[in-house]
């Protein structure tokens, strides 16, 4: 047996031991997480097999969908280097203040039709004014009345205790507030606020009983050590949902020339996150289409159990019916309210 084969088998053996460990309820180490990021790409199907076993054990065979609306676009004074909505960068995007309540309620209806069970009201800016929170609370109350099947979420940046309480009282379900990257790399991505500022808002959300959706963006020039740190930071934060975004370099931002991640590398990031956070709802959101192209099934095979459908904040997403067909092709259970419709619609796509 040639040494190469020995090495590869050694890789497989080690991965299977790690999988057994996680399935039996134990945690993997940082070294083991790094091992996943360095796993040989020619054996990626073995990684998918193991990640799928963990997803099925802890998350079952369901897939969840969410959708968002960019409710206030492009008016942010912060300097996040990946973000087209910062007024610091010359980007060609629409810029507008908070949308009217009925427009956002209509977007929630459309999200429900696309199969989403959660709908995120997203505003650009470091944090909302009290007046904006008042209007967003109205949106949440109207959505709960007029689109009863969907959970209204709010992603508004930094919040005060009072604002968080108002949102909770209005019926907000979850709030997304990402750490974006590792504590070490954060100052390289943003200087106008800190990693600690982000942790403070996450704490306020938790203390006010709002479900935390907290994740990251891979592919911004961070190292593999940073990627492992991100997964273990999220383990510590213990959010309900972990969204994984991949950098889709926006023209005009400082990260515009960063190459798009290779699907192998991106898939290993998802699997590493699944091994480190086996019981979490792991969502793949922004950058999914540009990174995985016609390998969208890798996103689920690598360990995710949730997709953002429809458009992103400033870039288009693929046709949501393709996501229905993708989920059905992998024998996943879709959100109840679209199961029948999806079978019919996807019949033509599969
Ligand atoms: S705070 Fe949010 S909206 Fe503002 S630049 Fe950063 S990511 Fe973009």
78/21 same-domain check: no
pLDDT at 2 over 60: no
pLDDT at 6 over 80: no
46/157 same-domain check: no
90/12 same-domain check: no
Domain assignment present for residue 109? The answer is yes
19/106 same-domain check: no
- Return all residues near 211 (Cβ < 8 A) that are at least 6 apart: 173, 174, 175, 205, 240, 241
17/98 same-domain check: no
Domain assignment present for residue 138? The answer is yes
65/50 same-domain check: no
The pLDDT value recorded for residue 347 is 74
Domain assignment present for residue 350? The answer is no
205/304 same-domain check: yes
Residue 289: CATH number of its domain? 3.20.20.70
Q: Is the CB of 86 under 6 A from ligand 1?
A: yes
171/272 same-domain check: yes
Centre of ligand 1 from the C-alpha of residue 245, in Å = 14
pLDDT at 196 over 80: yes
Question: What pLDDT digit, counting tens, does each position of 247-262 carry?
Answer: 999 999 999 999 999 9
Which residue CA neighbors atom 1 of ligand 1 most closely? 126
Q: Is the CB of 76 under 6 A from ligand 1?
A: yes
pTM: 0.96
Q: How many domains does the chain have?
A: 2
Q: What one-character-per-residue DSSP string does 230-254 give?
A: HHHHHHHH--SEEEEEE--PPTTST
The pLDDT value recorded for residue 209 is 97
Domain assignment present for residue 162? The answer is yes
Domain assignment present for residue 130? The answer is yes
69/46 same-domain check: no
Domain assignment present for residue 261? The answer is yes
The pLDDT value recorded for residue 350 is 57
- Bridge partners (DSSP) listed for residue 216: 180, 244
Ligand 1 atom index nearest CA of 79: 5
Q: Tell which of 55, 80, 97 closes a domain.
A: 55
302/322 same-domain check: yes
Ligand 1 atom index nearest CA of 190: 6
Mean pLDDT of the chain: 96
43/190 same-domain check: no
The pLDDT value recorded for residue 348 is 58
136/224 same-domain check: yes
Domain membership of residue 44 as a residue range: 3-55
- CB count within 10 Å of CB 302 equals 29
């Amino acid at each position: 047996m040639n040494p190469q084969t020995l090495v590869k088998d050694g890789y497989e053996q080690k991965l299977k031991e790690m999988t057994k460990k996680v399935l039996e309820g134990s945690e993997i180490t940082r070294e083991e997480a790094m091992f996943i990021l360095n796993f040989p790409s020619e054996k990626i199907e073995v990684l998918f097999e193991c990640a799928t076993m963990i997803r099925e054990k802890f998350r079952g065979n369901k897939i969840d969908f969410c959708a968002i609306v960019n409710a206030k676009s492009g008016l942010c004074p912060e300097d996040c280097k990946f973000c087209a909505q910062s007024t610091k960068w010359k980007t060609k995007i629409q810029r507008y203040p908070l949308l009217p309540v009925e427009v956002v309620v209509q977007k929630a209806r459309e999200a429900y039709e696309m199969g989403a069970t959660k709908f995120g009201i997203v505003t650009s800016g470091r944090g909302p004014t009290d007046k904006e929170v008042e209007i967003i609370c109205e949106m949440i109350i109207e959505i709960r009345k007029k689109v009863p099947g969907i959970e209204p979420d709010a992603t508004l940046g930094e919040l005060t205790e009072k604002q968080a309480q108002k949102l909770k009282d209005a019926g907000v379900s979850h709030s997304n507030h990402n750490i974006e990257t590792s504590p070490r790399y954060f100052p390289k991505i943003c200087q106008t606020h800190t990693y600690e500022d982000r942790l403070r808002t996450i704490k306020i959300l938790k203390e006010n009983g709002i479900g935390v959706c907290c994740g990251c963006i891979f592919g911004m020039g961070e190292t593999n050590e940073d990627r492992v740190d991100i997964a273990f930071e999220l383990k510590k934060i213990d959010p309900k949902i972990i969204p994984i975004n991949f950098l889709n370099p926006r023209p005009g931002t400082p990260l515009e020339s960063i190459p798009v991640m290779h699907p192998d590398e991106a898939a290993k990031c998802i699997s590493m996150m699944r091994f480190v956070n086996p019981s979490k709802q792991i969502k793949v959101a922004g950058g999914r289409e540009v990174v995985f192209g016609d390998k969208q099934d890798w996103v689920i095979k690598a360990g995710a159990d949730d997709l953002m459908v429809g458009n992103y904040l400033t870039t288009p997403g693929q046709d949501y019916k393709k996501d229905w067909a993708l989920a059905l092709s992998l024998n996943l259970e879709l959100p109840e309210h679209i199961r029948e419709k999806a079978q019919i619609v996807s019949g033509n796509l599969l």
